[in-house]
Structure 1
Amino acid sequence: MTVHRLLRPRWLATGGAVLLAGVLGVALLLQNGGGACAAPPSAAKHKGKATFYDLAGTVGNCNFTPPADDLYVALGRTEYSGALACGSYLDVTGPKGKVRVKVFDSCPECTPGWLDLSRTAFKRIANESQGVVPITYRAVPNAATPGPLSITFAEGSSQYWWAVLIDNHANPIKSVKAKGPGGDWMTATHADYNFWIIDRRTGSGPFQIRMTDLYGNTATAKNIKLRPEKKQTTSVRFTAGPPAPVKTKPAPTKKAQEKPAKVAKKPAKAAPEQAVAAEPAVESTLALAAGAPTPSC
């Protein structure tokens, strides 16, 4: 069992400011540490190992509160990818079964392929007494979420500087832009602790906030008010969840009863065509994730 977390920013209550220089310097150092190219896990099947840990505090490094089902994971610096992986989901398979977990935290000591699960999640795939187990895992594009996108302004946010935390997006968020009434779009930067920051005069809002995920999907939330530390639930999503399974109609049997001599030939050809038609919806989702742009090193 491990207990770990990266240092998180401490927002200054006076003046609505934040220690950006020091925090962002540490974030960049952590993000670029190691020789591997930082990128979130893809939808391809990966092999690795899993351990478990107990959360030290009330939130992980992604700054989310624990999900209601307590199923979450901390990733090493490479796969955490400077918070790009935050909020995405992984399917993890171990000796005992499979579990879906939300990327919730960072694990500074974890190497690529090493997933540090919540104790609850670990018990779904292995016996707790095992401690470390071999696993396979993959990202889940367009995973179902508990609700639509939510946006929370950080403490100290004002018309001169603000930071927002975005949740329930399922897919990694690649970019965030915002604009106030009559203004131009402003581009936010992503901090290692998962807040999107605009370090300039923004106006007092309300804002439109446009979010684009790693696969090119875009969602724009409107009428977002500048209310620090108040979660605002929007009406938009990147996705409504995984593709619904394709329903196939059973082959007609009337002609088969009238002409049994032809049944041996034609159904043998029709069945494969139905099977092929039912599979592309799943394959296209996996291809989308596998072909997603990889962040440059």
Structure 2
Amino acid sequence: MKSSYILLSLFALVACNVLDLYTTQSGDGTYYGPDNNSGNCGIYPVPSQISSATQGLNVAMNAPQYFGSAACGLCLQVTGNGTGSGSNPITGTFLVFVNDQCPECKPGDLDLAKNGDGRWKISWKVVDCPVGDSKIQYSYQSISQYYIKLQPRNNRIALNYISIQDPTSGTYFAMTRTSDNYFTLPDSYNAKPLTFPIKIQLVAFNGQVLNDTVPQEVECNSAVEVLISQFHLSLLLSLKLYKVLALAQDQALLPV
């Protein structure tokens, strides 16, 4: 039971950190040139409605607020007033998509994936991604009877974690999140070989839960829509941490 509480505490800590990003952050905005589909988050191509709303502008999140890839897929509203130094001031308010990590950036900093020069004062906060009525998508890097590495994308609200069901016991196990923004089977998951389709649950940072099944007949390294639903608008963010903890306990996560 002790390790269960540790696991829940880790999810709660990450959730708390990401929820903080819904309040205004301040730092420096810089440029690192086009990312050429090489960002650490690996969300390529960027879902069409998000790409249209951001005009294709990705950013690298500073390392302290990258949260081990939990910041991947966030949409940020950025504002700059041209204060700073260099040749290309950051001005106005615009939307960007987190698809990379900036190892040398400090808390509050963002590195824009476009050509430019200078260091400029900015403020920003997380907003719901403009996905309209489209569904969440999955991209599989690998899937077999013994291994899964999948990445949800096109979600309106960022994911806290995914849990996968052991079909024999009915228990859900939290999947392991990787630094490149994928989810894999936890070491504690022993229901192998896998029997498809497999039930999973996606839990957003504001506590919303979506239920789905993972099919095996998918093409790796391509995005497919599987879910019949999408996260709602983030109206529950004010409920904060205890909602996440309550939902995690309801899912009866086992020790890892």
Q: Give how far 1:180 is off.
A: 6.8
Displacement, 1:172?
2.3
1:133-282, aligned counterparts within 5 Å? 133-140=120-127, 142-145=128-131, 147-155=134-142, 157-179=143-165, 184=170, 185-199=172-186, 200=189, 201=192, 203-222=194-213, 224-225=215-216, 227-229=218-220, 230-234=222-226, 235-239=228-232, 241=233
- Higher alpha-carbon deviation: 59-68 or 181-190: 181-190
Residues 18-45 of structure 1, C-alpha deviations (whole Å, 9 max, x = no match) = xxxxxxxxxxxxxxxxxxxx93352212
Structure 1 residue 223: Cα displacement? 5.3
Q: Check whether the contact 1:149–1:167 (CA below 8 A) recurs between aligned residues.
A: yes
1:107-165 per-residue CA deviation (whole Å, 9 max, x = no partner) reads: 11111011011228xxxxxxx45x2211111111x33226311112223x211121111
Deviation at 1:183, TM superposition (A): 6.0
Q: Which amino acid is 2:31 matched to?
A: F
- The offset of 1:90, in angstroms, is 0.9
Tell me, what secondary structure is at the counterpart of 1:151?
strand
CA displacement 1:174-232 (0-9 Å, x = unmatched): 12012376663332011111111104525141122210011101111235335351422
Gaps of 5+ in 2: 1-15, 82-90, 245-256
Structure in which a larger fraction of residues adopt strand = 2
**RMSD of aligned residue pairs (Cα, Å):** 2.7
Q: How far 1:76 sits from its partner (Å)?
A: 1.5
Counterpart residue identity of residue 47, structure 1:
S
Aligned equivalents of 2:95, 2:78: Cα separation in 1: 6
| Match among 80, 83, 86 for residue 69 of structure 2 | 83
Identify which range, 225-234 or 83-92, moves more after superposition: 225-234
Aligned to 1:53: 32
Q: Would the aligned equivalents of 1:73 and 1:118 in 2 still touch at CA under 8 Å?
A: yes
Instruction: Name the structure 1 match of 2:10.
Output: none
Residue 267 of structure 1: aligned partner: none
The Cα of 1:56 is off from its aligned counterpart by: 4.6
**Corresponding residue number in structure 1 for 2:58:** 72
- The structure with higher relative contact order (CA 8 Å, sep 6+) is 2
TM-score of the two chains, using structure 2 as the length reference: 0.70
1:202, 1:55 → 2: CA distance? 42
Q: Secondary structure at the match of 1:119?
A: coil
Count of residues paired in the alignment: 203
Q: Distance in 2 between matches of 1:47 and 1:236?
A: 34
**2:11 matched residue in structure 1:** none
**For residue 292 of structure 1, what is the amino acid of its counterpart?**
K
Q: Contact 1:72 / 1:102 at 8 angstroms: preserved in 2? A: yes
Contact kept, 8 Å, 1:77 with 1:111, in 2: the verdict is: yes
Seen in structure 2, the aligned counterparts of structure 1 residues 56 and 143 have a Cα distance that, compared at 3 Å, is closer
Q: What residue is the counterpart of 1:292 in the other structure? A: 240
Aligned to 1:4: none
1:132 and 2:132 are equivalent in the alignment: no
1:112 aligned partner, one-letter code = P
Aligned-residue identity in percent = 23
Match runs of 1:72-111 below 5 Å: 72-95=58-81, 96-111=91-106
Distance 1:202 1:175 in 2: 23
Give 1:98 shift.
Answer: 0.7
2:29–2:120 Cα contact (<8 Å) kept: yes
